[in-house]
């Protein structure tokens, strides 16, 4: 895996009290910090309506409108010595605040380090009814260069950019619960593309020749979302002194996080929730930059089960006086093609990230997943997840109960004081507030 290091510059993603500012003030700070241009400032300020319907109508069938998600920015991220403001599209409260909080801690101790493998995707060709498996496999082996040449003829531009079909592998699947089948894997360097359309085109192109070589019948020709040759990894190292929280010492927090991590390693029931939290962060970035979050989720969870037992994507352990975290998962993302070209807000979000490759995007997303995981485990292993989550969740509850902008804070404070963050409680509090004001 390769590591990219960037030279430190004057940019900083550390913007104190950003959450207290108005929309115009926030955008002004991002422009002043060099994360958005003056044009992007105007675009975001005026574009609270999001995707125009005429564009949406060209993107999907039977369009009837658009569904908006809140778009926020995670701050404080220092990854490979480079500052990042990270767009995140998500409806769940506390996720953006949580990752920004962890990034603020980690940046004091050299920040996150991230790396990635080459952007290799896998295309699968399924062959059934093969009369002689060993001969078929040998024929494929002998014809590898021919097949790679055929695949690469599908996209000369990719070859000019340094990508293209790299190798062919075969697998023979014999089992009691399915018919025998030969699976051909086409390994393709997709460079900065997600790769789905490219892979599918290449496998379709090879199908007839594979039938000739194997004597069998080709059925499925499609990419695999278990992109285990296209991995992103992120790590961080935090001394105990940076982890103290309320009445808990840094050592207590670190040991609590390690114990929580061990739980996820030992138990798939816990690992599923452990990984769901990780994907809260990763998918929010994925959506903001117009990538296929379903593919990323599928690849991540498949990778978590690669040993035959479902386990955690991120792990934490104590080493000396440090807490060390690590995450690794498939990251089939792109910065060219598809939605990225037609969705104006997606284009702006990619500009805010200031990334130069799909590999870099994958590294940023893996880092956000690691930060989100630590935020969750830190809360769970100390005072529980609800306390930190409650105030942000309460705002959504207050809004759903009909609270106006000037009433929200009072309704939220009253719900938290009584420990009941529920819609019926919000409605009762709201009625009482309005009644008191009418009497006055």
**What is the C-alpha to C-alpha distance for residues 210 and 155, in angstroms, rounded to an integer?**
20
> 123 or 341, which is more confident?
123
DSSP 167-204: EEEEEEEEETTEEEEEEEEEEEE-TTS--HHHHHHHHH
Q: Position of tokens 């004081």? A: 417
- Cα(110)–Cα(436) distance, integer angstroms: 53
| pTM for this prediction | 0.89
Contact present, 78 and 103 (Cβ < 8 Å): yes
pLDDT band at 387 (very low <50, low <70, confident <90, very high): low
The pLDDT > 70 percentage for the chain reads: 94
pLDDT for 416: 81
Q: CA 43, 97, 230: angle at the middle one, nearest 5?
A: 80
| Average pLDDT of span 178-189 | 97
pLDDT surpasses 50 at 7: no
In this structure, the dihedral spanned by the alpha carbons of residues 398, 399, 405 and 406, taken in order and rounded to 10 degrees, is: -20
Task: Report pLDDT digits (tens) over 35-60.
Answer: 999 999 998 988 655 688 888 898 89
Pairing of strands 231-239, 113-116: antiparallel
For 2-117+230-383, give the CATH class: alpha beta
pLDDT at 9: 47
- Per-residue pLDDT band at 8 (split at 50, 70, 90): very low
C-alpha distances in Å from residue 65, one per residue of 51, 53, 55, 71, 425: 9, 6, 10, 18, 33
- In angstroms, how far is CA 267 from the centroid of its own chain? 23
Helix (H, G, I), strand (E, B) or coil at 65: coil
Domain boundaries, the chain: 2-117+230-383, 120-223, 387-439
Please, which residues bridge with residue 285 across strands?
none
Distance between CA 59 and CA 81 in Å, rounded? 37
Question: What is the pLDDT at residue 340?
Answer: 79
pLDDT tens digits for 72-111?
A: 999 999 999 999 999 999 998 899 999 999 999 999 999 9
Tell me whether the CATH fold assigned to 2-117+230-383 matches the one assigned to 387-439. Answer: no
Residue 10, pLDDT > 80, answer: no
Quick one: CATH architecture of 120-223? 2-Layer Sandwich (3.30)
- Give Cβ neighbours of residue 105 (< 8 Å, ≥ 6 apart): 238, 242, 243
Q: Is a pLDDT exceeding 60 seen at residue 5?
A: no
CA distance 127 to 218: 4
Q: Would you identify the CATH topology of the domain 387-439?
A: Helicase, Ruva Protein; domain 3 (1.10.8)
Catalytic residues: 92, 276, 292, 389
């Amino acid at each position: 895996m390769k590591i990219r290091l960037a030279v430190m510059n004057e940019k900083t993603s550390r913007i104190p009290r950003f959450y207290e500012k108005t929309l115009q003030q926030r955008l002004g700070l991002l422009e002043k910090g060099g994360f958005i241009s003056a044009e992007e400032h105007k675009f975001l300020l005026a574009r609270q309506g999001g995707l125009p319907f005429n564009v949406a109508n060209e993107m999907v069938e039977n369009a009837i409108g658009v569904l908006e998600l809140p778009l926020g920015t995670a701050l404080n991220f220092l990854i490979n010595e480079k500052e990042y403001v990270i767009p995140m599209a998500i409806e769940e409260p506390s996720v953006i605040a949580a990752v920004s909080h962890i990034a603020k801690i980690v940046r004091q101790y050299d920040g996150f380090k991230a790396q990635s493998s080459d952007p290799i995707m896998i295309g699968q060709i399924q062959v059934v009814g093969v009369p002689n498996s060993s001969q078929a496999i040998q024929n494929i082996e002998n014809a590898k260069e021919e097949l790679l040449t055929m695949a690469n003829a599908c996209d000369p531009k990719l070859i000019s950019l340094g990508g293209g079909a790299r190798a062919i592998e075969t697998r023979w699947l014999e089992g009691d619960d399915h018919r025998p089948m030969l699976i051909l894997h086409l390994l393709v360097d997709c460079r900065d593309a997600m790769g789905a359309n490219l892979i599918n085109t290449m496998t379709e192109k090879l199908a007839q020749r594979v039938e000739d070589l194997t004597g069998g019948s080709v059925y499925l020709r499609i990419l695999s979302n278990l992109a285990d040759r296209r991995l992103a990894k992120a790590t961080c190292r935090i001394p105990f002194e940076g982890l103290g929280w309320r009445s808990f010492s840094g050592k207590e927090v670190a040991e609590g996080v390690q114990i929580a991590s061990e739980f996820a390693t030992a138990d798939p029931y816990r690992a599923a929730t452990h990984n769901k939290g990780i994907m809260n962060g990763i998918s929010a970035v994925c959506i903001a930059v117009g990538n296929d979050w379903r593919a990323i989720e599928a690849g991540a969870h498949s990778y978590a089960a690669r040993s035959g037992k479902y386990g955690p994507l991120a792990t934490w352990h104590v080493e000396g006086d440090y807490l060390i975290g690590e995450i690794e998962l498939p990251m089939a993302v792109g910065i060219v093609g598809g939605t990225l070209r037609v969705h104006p807000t997606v284009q702006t979000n990619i500009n805010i990230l200031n990334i130069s490759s799909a590999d870099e995007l994958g590294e940023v997303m893996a880092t956000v997943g690691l930060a989100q995981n630590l935020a969750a485990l830190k809360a769970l292993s100390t005072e529980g997840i609800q306390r930190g989550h409650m105030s942000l969740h309460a705002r959504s509850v207050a809004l759903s109960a009909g609270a106006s902008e000037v009433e929200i804070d009072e309704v939220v404070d009253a719900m938290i004081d009584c420990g009941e963050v529920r819609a019926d409680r919000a409605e009762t509090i709201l009625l009482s507030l309005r009644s008191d004001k009418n009497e006055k």
